[in-house]
Structures are given as C-alpha cells and as structure tokens.
Amino acid sequence: MPTLNLVPATAADFRRLAEKRLPRRLFDYIDGGAYDEITMAGNEAGLRKLRLRQRVMRDVSSIDMSTELLGESWTMPLALSPVGLAGMMARRAEVQAQRAAAALGIPFCTSTVGICSLEEIAAASDRPFWFQLYMLRDRGAVAEMLQRARDSGVSTLVFTVDLAVVGARYRDTRNGLNGGAGLLGQLRAGLLSYLSHPAWLLDVGIRGKPHVFGNLADYVPTANTPADFKDWVDSQFDPSVTWHDIEWLRSQWNGNLIIKGILDPEDAVAAVRAGADAVIVSNHGGRQLDTVSSTAAMVPRITDAVGNSATVLMDGGVRNGQDVVKAVALGAQAAMIGRPWIYALAARGEQGLTAMLENFRSEIHVSMALTGTTGLDQLTPEILDSETPGSTHAG
C-alpha cells in the first residue's frame, strides 16, 4: 500500500507518514538517538519481549482504566512526554497536543524548548498541563519561568536531570542540523529539503510562525528561528548541577515535582530525598548515553528502591496500549510517550493524534480484558507470562 494512502493504525504507521511529510533534518531530529542508537532500539525491545498471560472466563464486563497521579485524576495511565522543537513538526504543535490530551483526559507535558509558550498553551484549554524544565546556569531565568508556570496554571513541574551535557546524535551531524556539513551540505539538507516538502512548508513553515522558543524568547530577543537560540541554550546547560540544586528548586516550587531521567535505584532514592514527589524512569529516549539499560529493565528495580515514598512513571519505547499495560505491570503508575505523539501530529495533525490516543485506550482495554483484569491495581507482575524474565508466575 502506498504510504500516502495508508490509513494509520499504529505509531509505526504515523511514523511512516511523518517521514514522508517532514524535511529530513526535522524527521531525523525526532526519530534519532545517540551514537549507534542501541539504547533507543533496546527500549522498544525491552517491552516487546515481555509476554502477557492470557486469562479467560473472568467477568471483565466493567473495566476501569482511570488513575490518579499526584492528586489529579486521569482517564488512563498514559501521558505525553516533553518533545523539544515540537512546533517545527506541526503547526503550533504544543497547543494541538494539549487540546488532544485534555479532550481525552490525560496529561500533556510541554518542553522548555518548545515553540509555543506556556501562556499560549494555557489559553488552549482549561485542563492543567505539565511543564518540563532544565537547570539553567541563569538561576534568575529558572525562577522567572517557574513564576510564569504558576501564573499559567501549571501545578506539576517535570525537571530533567540527564542533560548535564548533550549526547552525540549522529543523524543530526550527518544531515547538517549541528552544522559542519559545508555550504553544499547545508543547502541540500536545509533549504532544498524544506522546499521539497511543500505541504510542511505552507502549513508549518509559513502558517506556523513564529518559530522561536516561546519560553525563552525574552532571554534571546534577537532570535527569529530555533537555530538563533542554539548558542544561548548550549551555554546554559550546567554540568555542575547536583542534588543540592534540586533542593534549591524545591524551595522555589511548591507544586508537584517530578524528576525525569532516572535510570539507577540510588539516583531514584536521592531524588526523593531532594524533595521529588515522583520520578520518571527514562534514558531520554536513547538520545543521551547509548548502551545503557532499557527503561523496562530498570522500572522494577527503581520501584523497589523508592517503595511508597514516590510515584514512578516510565518513558522510552512505549508504542501502544499493550506497552502501557506492561509498564504498569512492571511497577510504573503510568507510561509516557514522546515520539509517537509527535509522529501523529506531524502526519495528520490533532485529528491524527486523537485517533492514535484512542487506539492506545482501546489497546489498554482489550489487553486488560484478555488478561482477566478490571482495574489498574490488578496489573502486577502476575499478568506477565512465566517466559518473561522476572515474572513471578511459575505456571
């Protein structure tokens, strides 16, 4: 079936459509990972190898997928992870994502380096959303953004801690996004690629302006494109950050605090001691340090380490509702998706994202019914088949 005529049903389908629609360097930015992309592939493989234990003749006429995360009620254990530059992939993508997520009753988390500002997203929906922030060298800027978040109705701050330095993403090097491709390479990867994607050029390139980092525009007033922000953003990543800085952050922020980028049980315990209400087991989608463990492999260990002292969420490799069920069975309270939601928006806009999220909900429902479970509290390691490493079922 030709790709353009494809009726998308899965995240992989939306990925194929997004690849056709987006200029190459933009698609590679959201699709790629660090170095040889071993961890990126391992995240998906870690979930795919888990096997569900099918159970029959159970009353599954009433299934409840709802959950409560940090004092807020949601319709299913799924959230949208922060994606930088999202508004370059679809017109005002962060606004579209918030509307779609709010309509389905799940959290959306916007990125520090998103195109749409906190204020623009807040105006799109009455539902709350989450804000992801980095520890910048300019602590005054951090404090100002925290106040803007409060003023925009944000009650949950997601603080990313695995970006002390930026991992090498070789796709970005090859297509010239990081510079260094020479004049001809820059022309081929940049301008000519944009011109060869007229649908994107009109919808996003022209109608989707302004293409600035809405949350950072005040700090780089001369910037007109995301590339104009690069030197300032790169200079702001702070490799000297320690848990003491998170304690300072906790003193500045009295709302919910989630630490994202935890991949070690000791770090999870340290995050809780520093004041985190929750941690996200994450390796940045395989975009930072390659050859580290998959998030699925680390969730049980981190859940055991923090016990009931913090909520545990997971992202990385989640591609369908069955992966969400597996993540909860491993010990996470909810799963988060990044690439799937931006693929769907890039391919088919808000309607496409809504359709994909509806598919996730249906897949969760079917998977729960056919494992004989009717509530999230029943999604335990017992629903994983005995061939799954770490399963408690011996049958």
Residue 164 has what pLDDT? 84
**Structure-block tokens of residue 122:** 């807040």
The residue with greater pLDDT, 178 or 142, is 142
Active site residues: 284
The answer to whether the Cα torsion of 151, 155, 156, 159 is positive or negative is positive
Residue 395 has what pLDDT? 40
Kind and range of the H or E run holding 258:
strand 256-262
* Domain boundaries defined on the chain: 3-383
78-87, 91-100, 150-159, 222-231: segment of lowest average pLDDT: 222-231
pLDDT tens-place string over residues 32-84: 999 999 999 999 999 999 999 999 999 999 999 999 999 999 999 999 999 99
The whole-number average pLDDT for the span 315-334 is 98
Residue 183 has what pLDDT? 44
pLDDT tens-place string over residues 381-395: 999 996 655 555 444
By C-alpha distance, which of 74, 111, 15, 118 is closest to 335? Answer: 74
Q: Which pairs count as long-range contacts for 190-193, CB under 8 Å and 24+ apart, including other chains? A: 190/23, 190/25, 193/23, 193/24, 193/25
Q: How confident is the model at residue 4 (pLDDT cuts 50, 70, 90)?
A: low
Residue 189 has what pLDDT? 58
The whole-number average pLDDT for the span 170-197 is 70
CA distance 265 to 379: 22
CATH 3.20.20.70 at 3-383, yes or no? yes
- In DSSP terms, 130 is beta-bridged to 109, 156
Q: How confident is the model at residue 3 (pLDDT cuts 50, 70, 90)?
A: low
Q: 289-317 b/e with 16+ CB inside 10 Å = b?
A: bbebbbbbbbbbbbbebbeeebbbbbbbb
Q: How confident is the model at residue 166 (pLDDT cuts 50, 70, 90)?
A: confident
Per-residue pLDDT at 285 exceeds 90: yes
Share of the chain above pLDDT 90, in %: 82
Residue 1 has what pLDDT? 45
Question: Strand 78-80 to strand 109-110: parallel, antiparallel, or no bridges (unpaired)?
Answer: unpaired
Per-residue pLDDT at 31 exceeds 80: yes
The whole-number average pLDDT for the span 229-245 is 88
Helix (H/G/I), strand (E/B), else coil: 222: coil
From residue 58, alpha-carbon distances to 55, 165, 378 in Å are 7, 51, 13
Residue 354 has what pLDDT? 98
* Strand positions, DSSP E, 104-147: 109-110, 130-133
Q: How confident is the model at residue 367 (pLDDT cuts 50, 70, 90)?
A: very high
The residue with greater pLDDT, 227 or 25, is 25
Residue 2 has what pLDDT? 52
CA distance 143 to 371: 47
